[in-house]
Amino acid sequence: MLERPLAPNPYDLLPKVPSFLLTSGDIEEGGRLPEIHVGDWAGGGNESPQLSWSGFPVNTAGFALTCYDPDAPTGSGFWHWAVANLPLSVTELARGAGAPDSSSLPAGAVQLRNDGGTPGYIGAAPPKGDRPHRYIFAVHALDTAGLKVGPESTPAFLGFNVIFHVIARATLTATYQVTE
């Protein structure tokens, strides 16, 4: 593989907003993404991790969730998961909530297609021998309960809409590298 400079964290390039707490029973900040969350074509389980969030602003009306790999060798990164219109009452998603059928997501939530072209979560599978990739899970606290995005919208379009409504953001970053 050709050596590439480390991509910036995309949230460092956006206007600053307060943060809150995002935790997981499945992944640790800076830790290696467990195989259950790796793409099935790479030998993993292709399941989204359990996520919980707290400490968001009192004026939060709803949430959006994304998972992004800024290190993908695409020139534009790779969106692994995007969910819009999570209600204020939802502060946790169970492992596997990113299944393509969306049956584990609350009513009204909109799961978008990932950059692999399928709805829901798509697990990590960086090129063999490439440096460790970062998988940034982000929960965006919004000043609105609903964004005008549908399941055919792209994660980039969701991000564009989030930027006008975000009042706080929580992130949790895991890494993964294929070494064999």
Q: Where are the domains of the chain?
A: 16-176
Q: Which residues contact 107 (CB under 8 A, 6 or more apart)?
A: none
Do the bridges between strand 21-23 and strand 166-176 make them parallel or antiparallel, or are there none, so unpaired? unpaired
Residues 39, 124 contacting (CB under 8 angstroms):
yes
- State the SS3 of 25-78: CCCCCCCECCHHHECHHHCCCCCCCCEEEECCCCCCCEEEEEEEECCCCCCCCE
Averaged pLDDT in 10-residue chunks for the chain of 180 residues: 79 97 98 96 92 98 98 94 98 97 92 96 93 96 97 96 98 92
Instruction: Give 37's contacts (C-beta < 8 A, 6+ positions apart).
Output: 26, 27, 44, 45, 46, 47, 48, 49, 123, 124, 174
Tokens 């798509």 locate to 122
Euclidean distance between CA atoms 164 and 158, whole angstroms: 10
pLDDT in the model for residue 2 = 57
Residue-level pLDDT at 102: 80
pLDDT confidence of residue 4: 75
Classified by CATH at the fold level, domain 16-176 comes out as Phosphatidylethanolamine-binding Protein (3.90.280)
Nearest to 135 by CA among 60, 24, 57, 43: 24
What is the per-residue pLDDT for 40?
87
Residue 1 has a pLDDT of 54
Q: According to the model, what pLDDT value does residue 41 have? A: 79
Task: Please say whether the beta carbons of 164 and 87 come within 8 A.
Answer: no
CB 37 within 8 A of CB 100: no
Alpha-carbon gap, residue 56 to 3, rounded angstroms:
39
Question: How confident is the model at residue 179, as a pLDDT?
Answer: 80
